[in-house]
Every structure is written in C-alpha cells, then in structure tokens.
Chain A
Amino acid sequence: MATIIVDGERYEAKAGQNVLEAVLSQHLDLPYFCWHPAMGSVGACRQCAIMEYADENDERGRMVMACITSVRDGMRLSIAAPHAARFRESVIEWLMENHPHDCPVCEEGGECHLQDMTVMTGHSQRRYRGTKRTWRNQDLGPFIGHEMNRCITCYRCVRFYRDYAGGTDLEALGSRSRMYFGRAADGKLESEFSGNLVEVCPTGVFTDRPFSKQYTRKWDLQSAPSVCPGCAVGCNIFPSERYGDLKRVHNRYHGEINGYFLCDRGRFGSHFVNDPSRIRKAGMRVDDEVFEARGADTAIDALGEMLRDGKAVGIGSPRASVEANFALRSLVGRDSFCNGLGEGDAELIALALDIHGRGGARIPTLTDVEAADAVLVLGEDVLNTAPRVALAMRQAARGTAFEMAGAAAIPDWQDAGIRGHAQGRLSPVFLATTLPTRIDDIAADTLHATPQDIARAGYAIAHRIDGDFAAPEGAVADDFVDRVAAALGKAKQPLIVTGTGSADPAVMQAAANIAWALRARGGDPALLIAPHEANSFGAGMLDGGLTLDAALEAVRSGAARTLVVMENDLYRRADYERVDAALASGAEVVVIDSIENATAQAANLLLPAATYAECNGTFVNYEGRAQRFYQVFEPAAEDEIAPSWMWIRRAAKAAGRDGCDWSGIEDLVRACAENVPALAAIPEAAPTAGYRGKADTRIPRQPHRYSGRTAMRADVNVHEPKPTVDDETPFAYSMEGQNTGRQPGAAVPYVWSPGWNSNQSVFKFQQEVGGGLSGGDPGVRLIAAETGSNGADARPFRSPPAAFASGDGFRLLPLHAIFGSDELSARSWPVAETSPSPYIVLNPEDARELGVARGDGVKCDALPVSVEVRIDAAMTPGTAACVCGLPDMPGPLPADPVEFVRDPDFERATEIIARG
C-alpha cells in the first residue's frame, strides 16, 4: 500500500497502480476518455491531467497525465489546481471543435461520457469559428448504428474490438485528422461482442440500433437488477422498460462474472419480451380448431377440475426459475415431476453436478478464467454456447504478455507497452472441437475430431499427466496430447473447459479426469463445465421422479390424465414422434408459457407466464451460483400475464391441494430452500424484501429524474394510479428512495452518480476500480467453489470410449449458433435477423460422394426440414455437423446414423451474414 495526498487529503492507494485508478477508487472525480478499467491506459486523450508536486514546499508543481503515472508512496497531487483544471477544459474545447450539434437526436444523449466530462470541466462556450469535419457513416448491421461525426478519436472502440475481443473487421482507418473508425466496407460487425461498443464508446458513434427504434432516454428507463436468460454463464444485466416495452439490456457490472462486457446474444436477445406473439391471456380449446380467451378464473377452475380428476404429470424447464420449477414439483408431487431436461441433457447435467460434487477441481469464475495460465477446451464451442467464457479465455491467452511485462518492470496497466513487449506471444490455449471455431486464432494447437475421439484424447492427456489414469486403447492424436499434457502440467493455474455441447458424457468425463490428474500431481486445476441454459444446473438440482421419456410415456399410456408443461417446448427436448404421441393421447395438456411455441399450440389450456423481466426468481449458473433476478416492470393491466408459480398456486387452491399456498416469492424461496438440500442457500442470494436503505427508504427502480409520470397514462385515465407497492422485493416502482451503491450488490437497479450520467459511473459502485461491488458481488455459490484438500472423492473415470469408425450413413454431431440456438433469444427480432437457416457441415469427400456443393440442400427422414450444405475439410468423414436448436429444427439430433439425399427443390435462404 502507498499513501497519496490529493488536494491536501491523504488517501490509501496500491503501489504500482496508476494515479487515475487510485483517485477513481477513492470515488473522486477526474475526467478521462481513453482509459478503460478493463483495457488499461494508453495516454492518448490527455484529459486526466493532474498536478504533481515534488514536496510540501513545491508550489509550482508539474502537470502529469494521471492514467500513465504510477502511484508512489507520499505522492502529492492536485486535481483542483487551476492550471490542470484549465488544461482539462482546453482539451474538451478541442474535442468539441468538430463535435456535431447532435445531442437532441443522439441515442447517447443523457448518458454520454463526453457530455459529462464537458460539464465537469466547465467548458460551455464554443470559440472556434471554423467548419466542422464530417464523415460518411457505414451500415454495421442490425445491432450497431454508426454516426462517425461524433467521434473524438479516443481509440477505445478498436482497443476493445480488436485488442480485447479479438475482432478483425473494425479498424482505425486513415491518417492525421482523417482518422476513421469503421470497417473496410459496409457490413455487419463480425464479432459476437460488438454490442459492447455501445457502452465502450464515450460518445454516440456506436449506438444500439434496436434500442434506437424504440428509443427512450436513460433517465426515463425503469430498471431492475437481472440475470441474462441467454445461456448458463449468468451475466448480470440491467433490462430497462418504458411504456410497457422492454427497451434495452445494458451490462450490470459483476466483479467475478461478466465484468464490463456482455455478448450480443445477451444484449440483443431480450426483445422476445415485446414479441407480438407473446401469450397474453389465459385460453382454452373449445373444439379442435378454436381457442378462446375465457378469462383467468374460468381457466383456473378448469385446471382445478383436471387436477382433481386424477394423476397429473408436471414438466418443468431449465429456462424457468428454480422457484417456478419447485412450485410445479410441489403441485404434482416429486414422483410425478420431470425437470424438463431432455434425456441426453439430463444425463449430462447430472454428470456435471456429480463431477463438481466430487471436488478435486476449482469451479472458476470468469475472473479465474482470465487468470488461467494454460487452457484446454474439450469438445465445447464456447463462443456459441457460453460466449462470455470465450471472451474471458481471450484475456487468459494474454497472461504471458502480462508476465513478460512484469519481468520487464512494465506496469500492468501500460497497455501499449505490454503489447509491444509481448509481440503477440500468447499463453497456451488448446481447443479440441468438432470444427474450427472463431477463437482458433488464440489457440496454440487445435484438434478437430468427433466428440468420441476428443474424449479419447482427453483420457490420453490425463493418462500422460498421471499414469494411474485410464488410457484409451488404440491411436490418439499424440502430438496434441503431448503438447497439452506438457503445458497443463507446467501451468500454475491450469483450466479445463468443457460442456454439454458435444452431447457426449465421455467428453465431460475425460475433462474431469484431466483436472483430477493435475490435482493428483499437486496442481491447482480449475474445471469449467458449461451447460446451455440459464437454469440448467438449477433444474438439475431439482430432480424429479420422472425422466422426460418416462413423463411422456406416462401421458401417452394414459397413466396420467393431465400434463402440465411449464415454460418449456417439448419439441426441443425429445423427438417429434414421442412428443406428438403424448400430446395427442387424449390427456389434458396444460401449458404455462410466455411465448407461443409448438407445445403451446397443442395445449388444451394455456396460461400466460411472465418472462424473466416480469417476475422475480433465481437462476443457477455454470458455477453453481444462485443469482436473483428481479421484476423490471408490471405487465399491462389488461393482460393476464402472471409468474408461473402464481398460476400454480391458484391451480392448487382450485384443486384443493395443500402445500402450495406460499404467501409470496420470499415464502416460496424459503420453502424451496427447506425442501431441496442442494438449494438450501438460495435465500442468501439477494437481500430480502424487508431491506431498506438509509432513512428507511426502498431502492427506486426509476432514476430520480424519471419524467412524464402525470402524462404517460393520461390517455387512459387522467387520474394517476397509485404506484404499486412491491411487497416482494426491496425495490419501488417509483423514483423515490436511494440507489447509492452502498446497498448489497444484488440490489443495484441502475448506475448513476452525480455528474456521472453514463455507465462510467459504475466506479462509484465499486470498492475499487475493476474490483467487487461496494455491497459485494451478487449471488451465492451452491457448490463449493474451492476444493481445499477435498479431492478424495474424485474417483477418476475408467472407461475411455472406442475410436470413431464411420459406417453406413452419417453420424450427426451437434453444432450451436450463438444467434438462433437459444429458444428465447431466437424470438428476439434483432437476433432472429442474424440467425442462420438450418445447415449441416460435411467433409468435402462426403459432399462429392453425395453430389452436393456448398449452398445445395439435402434432406433426410429424421430431420423435419431440408438443410443447407456447408463444407469444411476439418470435418471427420462419415459425420455431419448439424446446427441444433434453431426455430425451424428445434429438436435433439437423431442418435442413429442418417442417410442424406440431395433436395433438388431446396431454396437457399438469402443469408445476410455467413456464420458458422
């Protein structure tokens, strides 16, 4: 630690940190542009000028740039010194010379870092009389708008896009005063993290295009802390609402998970909440074709009848909260409950939980992933299934650069220096996947093989590290195995990443074996197992008495008279015939869901469920971290939308069943924790509804300058309704209360601080810049994150699979698409525009034998639609990788080999973006 003296006050700072970080960590105000806490300093904008004095007698001092000056003990500094203040004002004046008169028609207005800094430095009068530079904009695709006139040349966009996220198509073009930040030509930004440009850009050059279509100023957005439903990483988000529409999703800082960045599926995948096809009223099938909304009471009475009549089977969902799943389990009884995972998935999730339960390897946070010094990805295309993990892996690859910099006494924030010194050297990252992925550029070595062969390689690596572990019979990719084993063995914090994406338990077993082998050799391995849905692990912990097949069979055979499906499309989970047979068996099918899907269309009784933005609940992410998401807004009064668990409570009452009369979400959370040992800690995930801030105030969902309260509903009724009193959470549907950042981190509904209207104000909510939130990072870990000495249970797996041998027909291997494979985000229109149409990838030889070329269509009996052919030489002959989960083809892939024939009638969908 060091002590620095700023304007006469003494503060603690970390030695070696830069002065800007040190003063911001003390929550002092100092303007800056080019520095970003996640990207370090380049000293380009000269905005953070500050005076440094030699000793207490020095009155003149010298001006230094805070972001590129190291903290020294006893340093004397002044932010307020007139010389530095005048300099900072001049810098802004220069930046504003060419800035257009755009604020009223700029999406950044009201949350603009440039606006904030201009006000903070006091610049108010334009003295420059010359003309302003102008630029032509580019079309950057459906996600990002471009308005180049507003650029202040801080370079943050390219530093994020290229240096941090590994993108290649956004560039700093031109020279001197002609600097241009864009692509070589119009076209969609290729990076899966392009949406972060909206938050990284300190002004309005890159803007959120879907948000702009229904634009609302930040001060008018009602928000609540939430968790992304897009995948199992559990990134923290701020969804925001106005006039009953979910307007946008912004990053919610979490010191251990998403930090400052989200992926584009998370950012642009929430517009399904506003989808016109949302189910809004309770409906009943009156005859085969006709469906009528007859009011919630009638529907609930009918459901009560059905439940009284006889045995009911309940199918929950890994995209519903643990509370909703538990409520359904309570309604139908544990023996008649299925957690909604398909057969294969259920096995994989159970295996993942079993592996984590055995201990022996740390479960890494994303901060741990970034700190790993050797990474092996086994069989998982993380960029498409858990995208934020891939971004963290990119930072892990830069570990070597930081180590080299440390040895050369270059401070760890000195971005340009570190890059120059490292000359592109990377920490070892090894990728074993079916096909090349878009993060292969950071890989030291890759292996492209079938999941079976990847699992064999994994077993071989474990055997190579520790001879006690089972080795596969026959040949494996020896070079790859040797290199990986050597690199992992040398690493201090090795990381193994795997997941459910290859749908092969052997892959996960092999990954666990490697971690345990490293452990046996005295290492400290981390093992990341990525499931695919927001609450996969939560559903897995809530296992019921039935597997999905058993549940469907019970319905088909007539053993159960009623089937209750909650927030789940069964056609995504089991093959068509099986689901069709169950749904058409004459049983009463009750569906509680928010969006219309094939299962909802087969329902006899349909109840409109709230989406994640309209209810409270808990998701369990890949770390086994339970995180609470809070209701952002109330569904329109004329709609009958209610949280799933409330429908279940009403149904239980109508059926006269006991044990389902929870008084509210808190009561339900408690009941769930008491009844499910694995979930015992979930009440600690967030503060209770009784939490109050200073002066006994609630936390407001609306910023203090929320406008239009007396006019927004005046077209319906000029008498304003009383704001709903929220008994379930510590938040208020109002602007009254305090959001100071001193509340628990799980209860921060938006970030704002006086003078800091942009998202940069997040530092006022952190303990230190880039550290944890002041009130603690949200969530509670349900599975022990640290292994300690507990590795005794880690019994290695002993049955490596046989090598893949091609036979008749094609073995289908699963592929995943970041845009399209997730059910909810695929309904979000910006994501839908970017989703691929169903395709398979073939080896060139196989394609030649079939007589097809890229872009042709093929069909087979086991797939519901004809699929486009893509060709990749890395594909193992005899296999075809098939993208799964797309709206046109949602079901699981057939396990048996299939025969393809060319479909001469196939018409290739005009695809804007080639991806995959």
Chain B
Amino acid sequence: MWSQLRTIWTVFQHTFMRNETVEYPDEMPYAAPRYRGRIILTRDPDGEERCVACNLCAVACPVDCIALQKTEREEDGRWYPEFFRINFSRCIMCGMCEEACPTYAIQLTPDFELCEFNRDSMVYEKEHLLINGPGKYPDYSFWGVAGKTIEGKDKGEALNEAPPTDHRSLLP
C-alpha cells in the first residue's frame, strides 16, 4: 500500500518538472560528443587516411554491415582500404567498430538523422564516410607507433624505438 502511494506521489511530482523532450525537428536535442550516431572515417593529423584496412571493425560488427578491402599505396607503403562500405540500413549504432579500431579511424558522431525513403541510399562508400579531420582524437597517429616503415618514417623513428640494429656488428 505504502509503495503504491509513493509511486503515485512520484508520478504526480513530475507534473511540475521541466520537460525533457524537445520539439524535434524544430528544436534540436543535445547529443553529447560521445553519442553513437552516423559513422565516419577520420584522418591522421598529417591529413592522410587513418584507416589501415585491418578489418577489426568488420569483424567486431555484430550485424556484419562493414565490408572493406585492403590495398597498399606503392609510393608510401601505407595500408589503405581500396573500398570501405557501411550498410547503414543494417547498422545498429552499437559502437563496437569504434571500440575495435586500433587507429581511431572509425568514429561515431552525434548525427543521428539517417532516414531515407530508399534503403539503397543508406549504403555509404568510403567517399561518403571519410572526413577531412581527426575527429575526437586530434593527436593520435597510428603510423607514429607502428613498427612498419612508411614514406617519411623510417625504422627506429616510431614511438619507443631504438635505431635499426646492425646485425653485422661484432661488438660484444
């Protein structure tokens, strides 16, 4: 009995509280930067694509809506996705891809307005996904940490690396 009365009282109190709902779309609700909306691909601080086509987002995706193919640019040795496709009509905005991404390339944004009349329009290719900035992580560069050489970063120049060893050395 006491519990029911207390519940009624709590509900009654809400009558005098500020409205949480807003008049969308006339008024935009607040979505935090960490909100999980439309997915983007970001770029390194040096302006190159961050995605190295490692496929971890694809394998983490519970609805398997990410497909990509690795390729390598001859001139700088970086790994890139040849194509990168997200089928947003399948995406459940769970953010697993962002969590799995070792390079901070794939990020979810506060943009949740993804309605289309035609499902075909919800298939995004790399040119639709790629933005011109680093997104939420302005400083991180995967290639600055990885041991593989790329144009402009030789062996021994990554984070915590010693200069290349000379295996011909006879010093003790």
Q: How far is the CA of A86 from the CA of B61 in the complex (A)?
A: 34
Q: How far is the CB of A446 from chain B (nearest CB, A)?
A: 36
Whether A178 and B54, one on each chain, are in contact in the complex, defined by CB atoms closer than 8 angstroms, is no
B148 — which chain A residues lie within 8 A by C-beta?
A: 100, 102, 105-106, 147, 149
Q: How far is the CA of A103 from the CA of B79 in the complex (A)?
A: 12
Most chain B CB inside 10 Å of its own CB: which residue of A130, A214, A712: A712
Q: How far is the CA of A147 from the CA of B79 in the complex (A)?
A: 15
Whether B162 and A707, one on each chain, are in contact in the complex, defined by CB atoms closer than 8 angstroms, is no
A712 — which chain B residues lie within 8 A by C-beta?
A: 67, 85
Q: How far is the CA of A300 from the CA of B162 in the complex (A)?
A: 67
Interface string of A273-305 (1 = CB under 8 A from B): 000000000000000000000000000000000
Whether A707 and B165, one on each chain, are in contact in the complex, defined by CB atoms closer than 8 angstroms, is no
Q: How far is the CB of B74 from chain A (nearest CB, A)?
A: 10
Majority SS of interface residues in chain A? Answer: loop
**Which residues 67-111 of B have a CB within 8 angstroms of A?**
67-72, 79, 83, 85-87, 89-90, 102-103
Q: How far is the CA of A483 from the CA of B58 in the complex (A)?
A: 63
Tell me, yes or no, whether A896 is within 8 Å of chain B by CB.
no
Whether A708 and B70, one on each chain, are in contact in the complex, defined by CB atoms closer than 8 angstroms, is no
Q: How far is the CA of A690 from the CA of B85 in the complex (A)?
A: 37
Whether B155 and A709, one on each chain, are in contact in the complex, defined by CB atoms closer than 8 angstroms, is no
Q: How far is the CB of A746 from chain B (nearest CB, A)?
A: 29
Q: How far is the CB of A710 from chain B (nearest CB, A)?
A: 4
Whether A149 and B66, one on each chain, are in contact in the complex, defined by CB atoms closer than 8 angstroms, is no
Contact check: which of B65, B85, B149, B167 meets A180 at CB < 8 Å?
A: B167
Most chain B CB inside 10 Å of its own CB: which residue of A149, A150, A214, A243: A149
**Which residues 118-142 of B have a CB within 8 angstroms of A?**
119-120, 122-123, 125, 142
B155 — which chain A residues lie within 8 A by C-beta?
A: 134-136, 149
Whether A707 and B161, one on each chain, are in contact in the complex, defined by CB atoms closer than 8 angstroms, is no
Q: How far is the CA of A106 from the CA of B102 in the complex (A)?
A: 13
Q: How far is the CB of B128 from chain A (nearest CB, A)?
A: 12
Whether B146 and A133, one on each chain, are in contact in the complex, defined by CB atoms closer than 8 angstroms, is no
Interface string of B2-46 (1 = CB under 8 A from A): 000000000000000000000000000000000000000000000
B102 — which chain A residues lie within 8 A by C-beta?
A: 103-104
Q: How far is the CA of A217 from the CA of B60 in the complex (A)?
A: 13
Tell me, yes or no, whether A400 is within 8 Å of chain B by CB.
no
Interface string of B143-169 (1 = CB under 8 A from A): 001111100000110111111111111
Contact check: which of A101, A132, A180 meets B162 at CB < 8 Å?
A: A132
Contact check: which of B58, B79, B172 meets A707 at CB < 8 Å?
A: B58
Q: How far is the CB of A209 from chain B (nearest CB, A)?
A: 11
Q: How far is the CA of A173 from the CA of B168 in the complex (A)?
A: 8
Tell me, yes or no, whether A416 is within 8 Å of chain B by CB.
no
Contact check: which of B87, B161, B169 meets A711 at CB < 8 Å?
A: B87
**Which residues 116-148 of A have a CB within 8 angstroms of B?**
130-137, 147
Q: How far is the CA of A106 from the CA of B72 in the complex (A)?
A: 12
Q: How far is the CB of B31 from chain A (nearest CB, A)?
A: 25
Interface string of B50-64 (1 = CB under 8 A from A): 001111101101011
Known A-B contacts A104-B103, A105-B79, A134-B147; the reply to A711 vs B55 at CB < 8 A is no
A135 — which chain B residues lie within 8 A by C-beta?
A: 155, 164-165, 167
Whether A710 and B59, one on each chain, are in contact in the complex, defined by CB atoms closer than 8 angstroms, is no
Interface residues on A, range: 35 or more
Whether A179 and B167, one on each chain, are in contact in the complex, defined by CB atoms closer than 8 angstroms, is yes
Q: How far is the CB of B84 from chain A (nearest CB, A)?
A: 10
Tell me, yes or no, whether A8 is within 8 Å of chain B by CB.
no
Whether B147 and A150, one on each chain, are in contact in the complex, defined by CB atoms closer than 8 angstroms, is yes
Tell me, yes or no, whether A912 is within 8 Å of chain B by CB.
no
Contact check: which of B52, B64, B89, B166 meets A178 at CB < 8 Å?
A: B166
B165 — which chain A residues lie within 8 A by C-beta?
A: 133-135, 174, 177-178, 180
B158 — which chain A residues lie within 8 A by C-beta?
A: 100-101
Q: How far is the CB of B94 from chain A (nearest CB, A)?
A: 14
Q: How far is the CB of A124 from chain B (nearest CB, A)?
A: 15
Whether B67 and A714, one on each chain, are in contact in the complex, defined by CB atoms closer than 8 angstroms, is yes
Q: How far is the CA of A810 from the CA of B167 in the complex (A)?
A: 51
Q: How far is the CA of A179 from the CA of B168 in the complex (A)?
A: 9
Whether A711 and B162, one on each chain, are in contact in the complex, defined by CB atoms closer than 8 angstroms, is no
Report the nearest B residue to A709, measured CB to CB. Answer: B64
Q: How far is the CA of A242 from the CA of B69 in the complex (A)?
A: 9
Q: How far is the CA of A173 from the CA of B170 in the complex (A)?
A: 11
A136 — which chain B residues lie within 8 A by C-beta?
A: 155, 164
Most chain B CB inside 10 Å of its own CB: which residue of A104, A106, A212, A242: A104
Whether B125 and A215, one on each chain, are in contact in the complex, defined by CB atoms closer than 8 angstroms, is no
Whether B119 and A711, one on each chain, are in contact in the complex, defined by CB atoms closer than 8 angstroms, is no
Whether B59 and A217, one on each chain, are in contact in the complex, defined by CB atoms closer than 8 angstroms, is yes
Q: How far is the CA of A709 from the CA of B59 in the complex (A)?
A: 10
Known A-B contacts A134-B162, A714-B85, A714-B123; the reply to A707 vs B55 at CB < 8 A is yes
Whether B85 and A243, one on each chain, are in contact in the complex, defined by CB atoms closer than 8 angstroms, is no
Tell me, yes or no, whether A693 is within 8 Å of chain B by CB.
no
B167 — which chain A residues lie within 8 A by C-beta?
A: 135, 173-174, 178-180
B142 — which chain A residues lie within 8 A by C-beta?
A: 104
B87 — which chain A residues lie within 8 A by C-beta?
A: 710-711, 714, 718
Tell me, yes or no, whether A163 is within 8 Å of chain B by CB.
no
Whether B67 and A711, one on each chain, are in contact in the complex, defined by CB atoms closer than 8 angstroms, is yes
Whether B69 and A216, one on each chain, are in contact in the complex, defined by CB atoms closer than 8 angstroms, is yes
Q: How far is the CA of A708 from the CA of B122 in the complex (A)?
A: 15
B145 — which chain A residues lie within 8 A by C-beta?
A: 101
Tell me, yes or no, whether A715 is within 8 Å of chain B by CB.
yes
A147 — which chain B residues lie within 8 A by C-beta?
A: 147-148
Report the nearest B residue to A130, measured CB to CB. Answer: B160
A715 — which chain B residues lie within 8 A by C-beta?
A: 83, 85, 123, 125
Report the nearest B residue to A175, measured CB to CB. Answer: B170
Tell me, yes or no, whether A848 is within 8 Å of chain B by CB.
no
Known A-B contacts A101-B146, A105-B79, A133-B165; the reply to A708 vs B160 at CB < 8 A is no
Q: 5 closest A-B pairs (Cβ-Cβ)?
A: A100-B147, A708-B67, A174-B167, A104-B54, A180-B167
* 13 sample A-B contacts, Cβ–Cβ < 8 Å, listed by A number: A101-B145, A104-B142, A134-B147, A174-B167, A174-B169, A213-B72, A214-B71, A215-B53, A705-B59, A707-B66, A710-B64, A711-B123, A717-B120
Given A102-B146, A706-B64, A718-B119; 9 other pairs, CB 8 A cutoff: A101-B145, A104-B146, A105-B148, A131-B162, A135-B155, A180-B167, A217-B59, A708-B61, A711-B123
